[in-house]
């Protein structure tokens, strides 16, 4: 298609990956982020084999691997810490690369932001969309500082509480709280934690290596609607919730001592069954299909969205065709992750039918191993 000028709204993982993918296809890209600094904490994130494949396609993999810990194996444990099963994931980026990595969210954010800027993305921090008007030739966007600019199209990558989605589809489902919180904390890595360790039972938790010296612990808890976190008591609250965890997890709680280093948040989800675009604006990542972390694919789905959207826009000059093709390629995959992540969480809370979390993980692995 004729090379377009594209505005990406949101400077998270999905938005930055979209900027990189679109620049790789030759589009002019401006990316705005409402925060004055890149919005990422230092706690860890799991990036699975389909993400590494996408990063290889975008030529970001070497930088990515330099700041992460690679591994192939995922292991499952029961309520008393007993081993249940394990599987080895495929090396989709190439046999010379690991299947998965653990990486600090802040490191990942910095890698993506640096690459987007190196490729010529115009980035504007502390900037929000105030309004926009479409016409036959494009879309005129007015920003919160009063300035305005013309673009060919706009990508809403502004997260689960997306203002772009709300403006496009005011009657669409709103994000809903699932009933669970996730607690995350970085700590020293024992040598035996050389892959993902997932613990199921009354308290569900996981361990993921980040570097040779560091790993992160994540833990899920069931909290009432309206639960609010006292920032001065976060470590105490996490200790209380870990009381019923597997012995391996309880033994690690001695490292959870600094409330300023602990990240805890409610799990909120949304999924748009209908169109993912209207006119010249299209949604991406959590703005259209936010999931819980039970399958560790939230960021992965956003990253794949970015790659597919760039491919579809490069393949045709018809925006309607490109946006429809993008949704068609992404819908079933994202729907599987959304529904099955929820099913695992609902089972953990006693709100849903029993499911085999290990089998769902294996099915998910097989699904995301297929080409995007």
Q: What is the pLDDT of residues 224-279, one digit of tens each?
A: 999 998 888 889 999 999 999 999 999 999 999 999 999 999 999 999 999 999 99
Q: How far apart are the two ends of the chain, measured CA to CA in Å?
A: 21
Helix axes 298-315, 319-348, angle to 10 degrees: 170
- The segments of the chain whose pLDDT lies below 50 read 1
Share of the chain above pLDDT 70, in %: 99
Q: Considering just the CA atoms, what is the radius of gyration of the chain in Å?
A: 20
Strand-pair partners of 278: 281
Model pTM score: 0.95
From residue 301, alpha-carbon distances to 54, 58, 217, 286 in Å are 11, 15, 22, 9
CA-to-CA distance for 14 and 262, rounded, in angstroms?
A: 24
pLDDT at 2: 52
Q: What is the pLDDT of residue 42?
A: 84
Q: Report how far residue 327's alpha carbon sits from residue 284's, in angstroms, rounded to the nearest whole number.
A: 10
- Residue 128, classified by CB atoms within 10 Å of its CB into exposed (0-12), middle (13-18) or buried (19+), is middle
- Spell out the domain ranges in the chain: 5-41+103-174+269-369
State how far the Cα of 342 lies from the Cα of 67, in Å rounded to an integer. 31
Q: How far apart are CA 156 and CA 167, in angstroms?
A: 11
Write out the DSSP string of 122-148: EEEET--EEEEEE-SS-EEEEETTS-E
β-pair partners for 222: 180
Distance between CA 234 and CA 231 in Å, rounded?
6
pLDDT digits (tens, 9 = 90+) for 28-59: 999 999 999 887 788 999 999 999 999 999 99
Name which of 141, 124, 101, 100 is nearest 15 in CA terms: 124
**pLDDT of 262:** 94
In this structure, which CATH number among 3.60.60.10, 3.50.50.60, 3.40.50.720, 1.20.1600.10 belongs to the domain 5-41+103-174+269-369? 3.50.50.60
pLDDT value of position 358: 84
Note the pLDDT of residue 231: 81
Comparing CA positions, the residue from 287, 269, 290 lying closest to residue 346 is: 269
């Amino acid at each position: 298609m004729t090379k377009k000028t594209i505005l990406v709204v949101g400077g998270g993982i999905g938005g930055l990956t979209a900027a990189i993918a679109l620049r790789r296809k030759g589009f002019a890209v401006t990316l705005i982020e409402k925060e004055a600094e890149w919005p990422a904490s230092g706690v860890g994130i799991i990036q699975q084999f389909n993400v590494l494949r996408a990063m290889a396609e975008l030529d970001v993999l070497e930088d990515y691997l330099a700041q992460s810990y690679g591994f192939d194996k995922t292991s499952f444990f029961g309520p008393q810490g007993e081993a249940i099963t394990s599987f080895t994931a495929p090396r989709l980026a190439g046999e010379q690369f690991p299947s998965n990595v653990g990486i600090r969210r802040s490191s990942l954010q910095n890698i993506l932001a640096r690459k987007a800027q190196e490729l010529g993305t115009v980035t504007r921090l502390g900037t929000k969309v105030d309004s926009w008007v479409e016409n036959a030739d494009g879309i005129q966007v007015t920003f919160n500082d009063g300035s305005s600019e013309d673009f060919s199209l706009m990508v809403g990558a502004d997260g689960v509480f997306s203002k772009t989605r709300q403006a496009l589809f005011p009657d669409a489902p709103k994000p809903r709280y699932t009933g669970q919180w996730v607690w995350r904390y970085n700590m020293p890595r024992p040598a035996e934690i050389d892959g993902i360790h997932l613990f199921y039972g009354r308290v569900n938790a996981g361990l993921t290596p980040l570097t040779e010296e560091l790993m992160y612990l994540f833990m899920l808890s069931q909290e009432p609607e309206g639960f609010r976190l006292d920032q001065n008591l976060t470590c105490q609250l996490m200790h209380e919730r870990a009381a019923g965890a597997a012995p391996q997890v309880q033994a690690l709680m001695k490292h959870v001592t600094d409330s300023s280093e602990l990240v805890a948040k409610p799990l909120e989800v949304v999924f748009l069954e209908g169109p993912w675009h209207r006119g010249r604006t299209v949604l991406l990542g959590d703005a259209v299909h936010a999931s819980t972390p039970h399958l560790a694919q939230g960021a992965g789905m956003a990253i794949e969205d970015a790659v597919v959207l760039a491919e579809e826009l490069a393949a045709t000059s018809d925006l309607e065709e490109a946006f429809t093709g993008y949704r068609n390629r992404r819908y079933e995959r994202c729907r599987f992750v959304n529904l099955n992540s929820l099913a695992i969480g609902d089972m953990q809370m006693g709100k849903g039918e029993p499911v085999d979390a290990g089998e769902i993980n294996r099915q998910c692995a097989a699904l995301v191993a297929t080409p995007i």
